[in-house]
Chains A and B, each alone.
Chain A
Amino acid sequence: MRPILMKGHERPLTFLKYNKDGDLLFSCAKDHTPTVWFADNGERLGTYRGHNGAVWCCDISRDSSRLITGSADQSAMLWDVKSGKQLFTFNFDSPARSVDFSVGEKMAVITTDPFMGLTSAIHIKDIAANPADQVAESKLVIKGPQGRINRAVWGPLNKTIISAGEDAVVRIWDAETGQLLLENDKEVGHKKPITSLAKSTDGSHFLTGSLDKSAKLWDIRSLTLIKTYVTERPVNAVAMSPLLNHVVLGGGQDASAVTTTDHRAGKFEAKFYDKILQEEIGGVKGHFGPINALAFNPDGRSFSSGGEDGYVRLHHFDPDYFKIPSI
């Protein structure tokens, strides 16, 4: 396959997200300007100007009308996808790290980093249908985990929040009361900070990637460990194929050490694993820096990766890919 290279960002990529229909690809980078691309040919549709810091995360509403972004400028913003206009700004006292719309987009969960004596927190906001009615107050603030919370997403039926972060523990919280419901078993859990978390399409399980060079698949309700994928690189990004039983892990050696070694030692490929057999089935090379973001098109026929090198690489699979035998 010949990947499409998108060089719209001047700084390392941080996050990638497809919309529900899979025709738009949203990219976040440290260069303050989230960008939207057409997912088939990689043409740039527009940019969202307004943030004043690295943008860490974004989420897109199901009907592709609203975008929410979380940024290091201590704010999260709601945008009109079509025009690129800012609709609302949530201000925080510390950088916003992760954002996620609930099912139905009536709520959003936003995590903030530990900063200037503040601990990290998970904020739940009501999202108004009309941006004019939007209020800034948090509906619920959950505090507790030590260190940064790298990702928080909604559980089934918006009843729970799943969070993971630097303390290497996956937690499930009650989204109504803020109570801690479950913590993962320390024996089988990650040993180093969790960098990424991706839900399956049906929302029944999720995958976490960690700097301990592994990714783990968990049941979203019982938080039991289902599978572990062991790799040779610290994992920065994970994604699950919605079509086949494949998981993709991306990562690579720390960006600060890249120039000190041979480029092949960096292990900057996206590695594909069989979800069930936990076996490596392939790799896709190309980036010349660690992979920071991965996203699968909802149709499962293409995926994109964003690297520390500032490129988004959009891969449309060759027919051979779909012939890989599986059980």
Chain B
Amino acid sequence: MTIETTQKPRWGELDEEEDTDYNYLLPPKQTIGPDNNGIKKTIEYSFNDEGHKVKKTTTTRVRKLANARLSKKALERRGWSKFGDAVHEDVGARLTMVSTEEIVFERPRAPGTKAEDSSSSDPLAAKSGAVLMVCRTCGKKGDHWTSRCPYKDLAQPSETFVENPTADSAAPGAPGATKGAYVPPTRRDGGVRPTAGADMRRRNDENSVRVNNLSEDTREPDLMELFRPFGSVSRVYVAMDQKTGMSRGFGFVNFVRREDGERAIAKLNGYGYDNLILSVEWAAPRAN
């Protein structure tokens, strides 16, 4: 930021020669900070070519990479001269670099959520016992819970993201054991257990959150990553243009529980994601 002040040195005060250095007329250099946030301000004054006084404020952020507390011995070792290959190190070798990438300490769960959350909150587990253990990541049945999936680090398999699941594909695994007894539709509500195509369809419309203004680069795994911390997500979908294959800029996320969806909306509506501001709302029911 530069501010030109109109205040010129008065001609009467100037010497005859043109090249005289007027720097003594300038206020001294000022340094403010660094404050708690590591912001340091340096204010310098100089004359530009036309003899105007220019105030230059430089704001820099000072980042401490490491807190070094050195013992006496260690301090002495700091002064050791280099040896071996380190003596004649090429200037351009750059053996030591600070990563350009910010590496986060990735938590498997959102901070603050309980350990049991992922399994016990799952209505599947509560309702039908141990029989219905379907991994939402890899689709394996009865082997492990989603949170324990050995493939959880991999991207979502694309078949999970069919927009309009047909009746056949929508019921991935209704074990025979649960089929026998009649369950009235009113009782089926809480369970997301896929028993029939129609039921599955309804589930997909329930707790569905529409995300608008996505950037073109956003893919389903990104959305999954964004929304997973709010609770169990049963489906994510990013609308793609069929002709161009480009993202159409909106997508849907279905939550297993409505409260999770509410929290997600409250938190992510207006959230800046990939240089765009997301708008997140309950999806309007499908018209059919």
**CB within 8 Å of B: which residues of A?**
1-8, 21-24, 33, 35, 37-38, 40-49, 63-64, 82-84, 232, 262, 264-265, 267, 269, 272, 277, 279-286, 299, 301-302, 313, 315-318, 320-321, 324
Provide the residues of chain A in CB contact with B80, threshold 8 Å. Answer: 45, 82
Complex Cα distance A128/B80, Å? Answer: 25
Contact for B89 among A21, A44, A286, CB less than 8 A: A44
A317 touches B150 (CB 8 A): no
Chain A: interface secondary structure?
A: loop
Provide the residues of chain A in CB contact with B97, threshold 8 Å. Answer: 4-5, 7
**What residue of chain A has the Cβ atom nearest to residue B63's Cβ?**
A2
Instruction: Give the number of A-B contacts (CB < 8 Å).
Output: 135
A47 touches B85 (CB 8 A): yes
Instruction: Return A317 CB to nearest CB of chain B, in Å.
Output: 7
Provide the residues of chain A in CB contact with B66, threshold 8 Å. Answer: 40-41, 302, 316
Complex Cα distance A301/B107, Å? Answer: 18
Contact for A269 among B83, B86, B106, CB less than 8 A: B106
Known contacts: A5-B98, A64-B73. The answer to whether A265 contacts B154 by CB under 8 A is yes
Complex Cα distance A286/B106, Å? Answer: 12
**What residue of chain A has the Cβ atom nearest to residue B147's Cβ?**
A280
Q: Which of B125-181 contact A (CB under 8 A)?
A: 150-151, 153-155
Known contacts: A41-B65, A44-B86. The answer to whether A5 contacts B105 by CB under 8 A is no
Complex Cα distance A320/B111, Å? Answer: 10
Contact indicator per residue, chain B 99-110, by CB within 8 Å of chain A (1) or not (0): 111111111100
Instruction: Return A20 CB to nearest CB of chain B, in Å.
Output: 9
Contact for A281 among B94, B107, B153, CB less than 8 A: B107
Provide the residues of chain B in CB contact with A63, threshold 8 Å. Answer: 73
Provide the residues of chain B in CB contact with A313, threshold 8 Å. Answer: 99
Provide the residues of chain B in CB contact with A40, threshold 8 Å. Answer: 66, 68
B82 touches A282 (CB 8 A): no
A301 touches B67 (CB 8 A): yes
A46 touches B82 (CB 8 A): yes
Q: Which of B71-119 contact A (CB under 8 A)?
A: 71, 73-74, 77-78, 80, 82-87, 89, 94-108, 111, 115
Provide the residues of chain A in CB contact with B78, threshold 8 Å. Answer: 23, 38
Known contacts: A23-B77, A265-B153, A286-B99. The answer to whether A83 contacts B108 by CB under 8 A is no
Provide the residues of chain B in CB contact with A21, threshold 8 Å. Answer: 70-71, 73-74
B105 touches A47 (CB 8 A): no
Complex Cα distance A255/B54, Å? Answer: 60
Complex Cα distance A64/B72, Å? Answer: 13
B29 at the interface (CB under 8 A from A): no
B106 touches A285 (CB 8 A): yes
